[in-house]
Structures are given as structure tokens and as C-alpha cells.
Amino acid sequence: MQADAYRFDGSRPCDLSRLPTDAGSEKGKKEEYAAKTAANLRRMEALQDALYADGREGLIILLQALDAAGKDGTIKHVMGGLNPQGVTVYNFKQPTKTELQHDYLWRVGQCLPPRGGIAIFNRSYYEDVLVVQLHQLHKTYRMADRVLTDSDEAFFEKRYRQIRHFEEYLYENSFRVLKIFLHLSKEEQKKRFLDRIDTPEKNWKFTPDDLRERARFDEYNRLYSRVISATATEHAPWFALPADQKWYTRYLASEVVVEALQKCAPSYPALDEKTRAEMQRARIRLMAEDESR
């Protein structure tokens, strides 16, 4: 599939500075891609139905990106194709005081889907190696000296390992994790911020803090490259999708979601002989109702 060009599964390191943020040679094919996305949404719906009925695997789709890269839009326009029964969206904001008293995966445990279900994470536990690392927030947490006397590098290397193990644990318990990074250019972020400032309906999406993070745009991308490289595995791959054209991002996102659902191998549960015979008897009884009316 087209999104394979952006797949990271541990077989190669990720260097975002060498990856496109735009649609490249596909630019100008907006209509064509919109139609292809619509077709994928229909496939997603059918696959999700089967996943729900099958109930053997659960799927976690997580989205990470810098501000204005299109996380909310992707959830609305791509995941919006899913049946709300069987999907829950979780937004990971700054941890509360109670959350900070626990390990960083504690709040995640409460958001995991049942088998047959899908959880969408708008940001995730990856914030705990991204914003936390960049702003050195871990140094403000109350934790034992033995934890904090580690060098920063060692501290976060341990977290990468914990995250790999956590995702492997989920995989070994019949869940899959699909990780999407929306790769936006600094110029496009500026345009979208200006639009958020100039359009009253979009004002709520902008906070002056966003500029503080933007000032560290390149640092963030370098850190994302490291985090993606350290946590990409075959069973829990990352996709670093170009995000400058929303219609292109949405198409690629729909592709990777379809693929993940297919991998969950959803097939409608097959009936055993006894149940099939019972169903047939039920059928006969239902048909008999008409006749006796």
C-alpha cells in the first residue's frame, strides 16, 4: 500500500528531516484521493463490524503530532467512518495531580479497549517521552532519588524499553497498537495557526502556549525521530504520514487503519453444527408465526 513508504517497523531508523511533509507528485489529485478515502471508509465499517462480532482482538490507534497537524481532523474524518458502538476516543491532556501520583501507564490502563473494540488515543503515553523529555518535567515529579539520579538519556531509554514491552504485552494478549505520527512542515503550521487566530470559530483551538512549543519545532522533530526509531516494532509499527495536505493525510490514515483491521483478521464467528441446527429450528418457528396469524 501507498502508506508503506512511511512505515517504521524497527527495520530502519526514522529521520523525519528526510521524510516528506507534503503529497509530492500526488499534489493536485485531491478529488481522486477523496473518492479513494470514501471507499476505504466503507471497507473500515465492514471490517469493524466483523471485528466486533468476532471479539478476539482489540485495536488501539494512537495519534501523535505537533499542534495543528490534524489529529482532531483525522479522528473526525477518518475514524468518523467507524460505528460509535465499539469505538471510544480518549484525549490525553496534562496529567492531573492524581495521575501524577501514579506511574505514567496507569491512566492508559483505564482507556484500553475490550477485545472486539477499538480505542483511539488523541495523544498518548508517548507524551511521557516527548513533552516530558523536552521540558524536563520528570525532574519535577516526586520520585525516589534512585530513579532521578539516572542521566536523562538513561531515564528515557528505560521508558522506551517500558513502552516497547507494554505494546508487546498488549500484542501477546490479543491487542494491536497502530501508531500514527502526522508530519507537518513548519510553514504549514504557521498558516494553520494564523487561520486559527483569524477565524472566530477556530479561536478556541489556539493558545499562546502553542508558540512556545513552535519555537522548539526542530527539536521536537529530532526527538520524534528518536522516539519513533526506539519504539517501532513489527507488531506495533509507526506511520509517519505527511500532513501538509489534509486530503492526502486522511487517505493514508484510512489505508493504515484498513490494514490494521484486516490484520486483526476479523471474520464473522463460524457457527458449530449444534448452534447452526438451533438457528434453523428458530427460523422454522419464526416462519410458523406468519402462518398461524
**Site map for ligand AMP, 102-141, x if CB under 6 A?**
---------------------x---xx--xx----x----
Cβ proximity to Mg ion: between 8 and 224 the closer is: 224
Is residue 92 within the footprint of ligand AMP (CB under 6 A)?
A: yes
Please tell me whether residue 177 adopts helix, strand or coil conformation: strand
Give the number of residues in contact with ligand AMP, rule: CB under 6 A.
10
**Smallest separation (angstroms) from ligand AMP to the CB of 232:** 20
Is residue 67 within the footprint of Mg ion (CB under 5 A)?
A: yes
Is residue 122 within the footprint of Mg ion (CB under 5 A)?
A: no
Is residue 100 within the footprint of ligand AMP (CB under 6 A)?
A: no
What are the phi and psi torsion angles at 252 (to 5°)? -65, -40
Cβ proximity to ligand AMP: between 128 and 259 the closer is: 128
Is residue 93 within the footprint of ligand AMP (CB under 6 A)?
A: yes
Is residue 50 within the footprint of ligand AMP (CB under 6 A)?
A: no
Closest CA to 4 of 247, 253, 239, 233: 239
- Alpha carbons 236 and 232: distance in angstroms, whole number: 6
Q: Are 71 and 182 in contact (CB under 8 A)?
A: yes
What are the phi and psi torsion angles at 88 (to 5°)? -130, 140
Grid cell for residue 47: 471490517
Is residue 244 within the footprint of Mg ion (CB under 5 A)?
A: no
Cα-based distances in Å from 190 to 66, 72, 75, 206, 211: 12, 17, 22, 12, 10
Binding site for ligand AMP (CB under 6 A): 92-95, 123, 127-128, 131-132, 137
Binding site for Mg ion (CB under 5 A): 67
